[in-house]
Amino acid sequence: MKKSLLVAVSFFLVAVLAIGGSLAYLVSEDEDVNVMVVGNVKIEQLEYERVTDENGNYIATGETDEYGYSPDDLQEYTQDKVIIPAVYDEIAWDDDQQSWGEVGAPGSNQLFSKDIKNVQDKFVFVKNTGSVDAYYRTIIAVECPEGFSDELLHLNMTGNSCFTWTEIGFTTIDGVRYLIYEALYNEILVPGEISRPSLLQVFLDKKAANEDVALLDGIFNILVVSQGVQADGFDSADEALDEAFYDVTVDQHPWAD
């Protein structure tokens, strides 16, 4: 049975640690962007991150958006990042907000405070590139090996009401345990429209010990798949996607055999 995941403002994910002054380093890895569609529907999954300078500082666009913020510049998400321990006194949110006008998506979203070092951006959007109205959902699998506590994983997920988040539960993919989430987009995505992002950021809790990091075996995977179906003929996104594909469970998901 699905377990509802309540999203107040956002959630978090992560991994890594420092003991005795020695840092543990991880490489984050992501499979190729995957999209599944049913009907005369075309969607594209888009992933972005903020641009940084040579010192790791974010570069602002210098322009003020409709909300009065000057958001940071964006670029396409780059794979195989090195994830190092997050450094922070407390988990806090940025006073400003990152808006998405640069990529054509509506609204703005709050990100982790810039005082938290070593947070990784992974802004996941979906665009309707077809000619018919569509419903979609994004399914996210976060690596969480046996013995590794999911309390060490920090995921920043959009808390906008257009998404319904469900924590599906733990499952095994290619012999490794993952924690699966479903981000159901409740609104119709019209042709040419880009949704708000679902997943936003990840980082590893500073309480993680070297033995916790060792369970990740040097690679930290986040798998993301978006599924789309035509909206015509259905009363809701949940009904349409479950009818076209399946009800997402720990046994039924995009990475199941």
Decide: 127 and 119 in contact? Cβ < 8 Å.
no
pTM, full prediction: 0.86
DSSP 3-state of 151 = helix
Backbone angles phi, psi at 55, to 5 degrees: -100, 5
pLDDT the model gives residue 81: 77
Residue 21 makes CB contacts below 8 A (sequence gap 6+) with none
pLDDT the model gives residue 173: 95
How many CB atoms neighbour CB 253 within 10 A? 20
Rounded to an integer, what distance in angstroms lies between the CA atom of residue 6 and that of residue 165?
A: 7
DSSP string for 93-128 = B-SS-EE-GGGT--SEE--B-TTSBTPEE-EEEEEE
Query: pLDDT tens-digit profile of 138-156?
Result: 999 999 999 999 999 999 9
In angstroms, what CA-CA distances link 162 with 52, 72, 244? 30, 24, 21
DSSP 3-state of 150 = helix
| Residue 220 CB-density burial (10 A; 0-12 exposed, 13-18 middle, 19+ buried) | buried
Query: pLDDT tens-digit profile of 179-216?
Result: 999 999 999 999 999 999 999 999 999 998 888 888 88
Is pLDDT at 219 greater than 70 in this prediction?
yes
Is pLDDT at 95 greater than 80 in this prediction?
yes
Is pLDDT at 45 greater than 90 in this prediction?
yes
Confidence of residue 4 (pLDDT cuts 50, 70, 90): very low
**Higher pLDDT among residues 38 and 120, named by residue:** 120
Q: How far apart are the first and last CA of the chain?
A: 20
Q: Which of 28-32, 65-69, 85-89 has the lowest mean pLDDT?
A: 28-32
Confidence of residue 33 (pLDDT cuts 50, 70, 90): low
Tokens of 215: 């369970």
Is pLDDT at 244 greater than 60 in this prediction?
yes
Residue 143 makes CB contacts below 8 A (sequence gap 6+) with 176, 177, 178, 216, 219, 220, 221, 222
Confidence of residue 11 (pLDDT cuts 50, 70, 90): very low
pLDDT the model gives residue 29: 53
Q: Which of 37-46, 117-126, 194-203, 223-232 has the lowest mean pLDDT?
A: 37-46
Cα 30 to the chain's mean position, in Å? 11
